[in-house]
Structures are given as C-alpha cells and as structure tokens.
C-alpha cells in the first residue's frame, strides 16, 4: 500500500500561508497540516478553510449557500410563525461565522454594510435584498470591493443572525404575548461538517440551542440575541466573541 502523502504549511493561519493552505486543500491528494504560532488563530483558520473548501465558482457557491442557509431558514419561519402560540420559543442555529464583525471586507464599504445590517429599523425585505445583492456581487466578481467577506458561509450566517433581530421586533409587536426568538453559535463540534475535528461533543453543542428553546415564561433576556455555545449573550454588533471557535 502506498504511503499517505502529507503536506505541512508553516504560518498557515494568515497571509500567503493561508493562501497556500487554500490551494493545497483544493488540489493536494493527501493530508494537509496547518501550523501557527497561536493555537486559537490556527483553529480559526481551519474553520474558515472548511467553509471555503468548495471548488465551484464563488458566484455559484454564494447562490447555493445563501439559498439554503438564509432563504431556507426564512421560508421555514414564514411557514411556522403564524402557527406559534403565546410564550413560544424559537431557537435558531447560527455560527461563530455569523457575528457582524465578520463583515470585514473593503472599508468603508464594509462599515456601511455593518451599519445597514445592524440598523434597528432594518426590515425583512431589506435584509433579503442585501443577501441577493451579495449573490449578485459574487457572480460579477465585485463582492470584495463592495465590503463583503470572502466567505459565502459567513454572509449566510450573518443574514440569519440579522434576521433574528428583525423577527424579535415583530414578536414584540405581536398580539400573542411573550414570543421570543434567539440565535446562537453552538460551538466547534465534532461532526461530519467539521470532519470530526471539533473539540466539543454533540451534547455540548446542543446545550445553548436547547437552553434557548426552554427559556421560562416572561423572561426579560435574551430576546433577539446572539449567544455563544456556553450561553453567554454576545454583543452582535461590537463584539468581542468569547473565543475563536
């Protein structure tokens, strides 16, 4: 049996090293090891690589990812929300990638996008338009200049997090009392999606989503919030996030 081919990239968490990682992960027929001086940054880079591992054109990735992760979530909510009863609890799974500060493309365009997405008056229709705008920019190759990050997964999960805030405002005005929706980052969990490299167990990853689904009646917070896997409420607009993953 032929020996397994192995590649090692030093300083692979950023810059040229990260670019080399992306190329090797896409084209090298073997195991690719990323090394970094900081373990947290190295793990964060690995997580990012797993979101950018697709080989389809970026525009096609954007269309499919936004359709499934954002518009799929939205369609489900539109179908089920009219059926909810008073004191309902909605728990949506976002990601560490869903924090607003992951909009880190070209400034000041990125700053303008963050301002729009965090606006207290942002509507569902306006959010959908922003998601469609990203897909259009991804297809014509101008997403970076427009401030969007170089990850379709990041944009889709930011959209989900922004949607939660809009939905809670609608719940607050709903005649059915005590309706609550939150979203959370479940953690870097040992699943097929992470190629079983996540340090958290499935049970640990279920802690925060389940906590949000079981919030007691008339709770004051969290409402329309973004939580970390350990149930911490995180400032979605300004950060910081508690850990890299």
Q: Which residues are known to be catalytic?
A: 153
* Nearest-5° Cα angle at 225, 221 to 228: 105
Q: How far apart are CA 175 and CA 26, in angstroms?
A: 52
Q: How far apart are CA 229 and CA 210, in angstroms?
A: 11
Give bridge partners of residue 200 from the DSSP assignment.
189
Instruction: Count Cβ atoms within 10 A of the Cβ of residue 3 and give its class: 0-12 exposed, 13-18 middle, 19 or more buried.
Output: exposed
* Torsion, Cα of 1, 46, 154, 63 (10° steps): -20
């Amino acid at each position: 049996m032929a020996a397994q081919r192995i590649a090692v990239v030093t300083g692979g968490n950023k810059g040229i090293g990260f670019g080399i990682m992306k190329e090797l992960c896409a084209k090298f027929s073997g195991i690719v090891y990323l090394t970094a001086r900081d373990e947290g940054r190295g793990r964060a880079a690995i997580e990012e690589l797993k979101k950018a591992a697709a080989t389809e054109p970026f525009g096609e990735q954007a269309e499919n990812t936004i359709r499934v992760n954002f518009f799929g979530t939205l369609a489900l909510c539109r179908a089920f929300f009219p059926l909810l009863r008073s004191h309902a609890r909605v728990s949506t799974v976002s990601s560490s990638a869903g924090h607003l500060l992951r909009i880190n493309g070209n400034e000041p365009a990125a700053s303008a996008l963050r301002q729009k997405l965090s606006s207290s008056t942002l509507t569902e229709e306006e959010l959908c338009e922003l998601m469609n705008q990203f897909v259009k920019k991804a297809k014509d190759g101008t997403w970076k200049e427009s401030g969007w990050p170089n990850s379709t997964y990041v944009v889709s999960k930011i959209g989900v997090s922004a949607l939660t805030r809009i939905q809670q405002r609608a719940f607050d005005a709903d005649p059915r009392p005590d309706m609550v929706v939150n979203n959370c980052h479940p953690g870097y969990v040992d699943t097929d999606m992470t190629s079983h490299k996540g340090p958290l167990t499935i049970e640990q990853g279920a802690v925060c989503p389940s906590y949000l689904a079981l919030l007691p009646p008339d709770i004051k917070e969290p409402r329309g919030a973004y939580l970390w896997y350990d149930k911490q409420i995180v400032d979605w607009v300004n950060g910081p996030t508690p850990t890299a993953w």
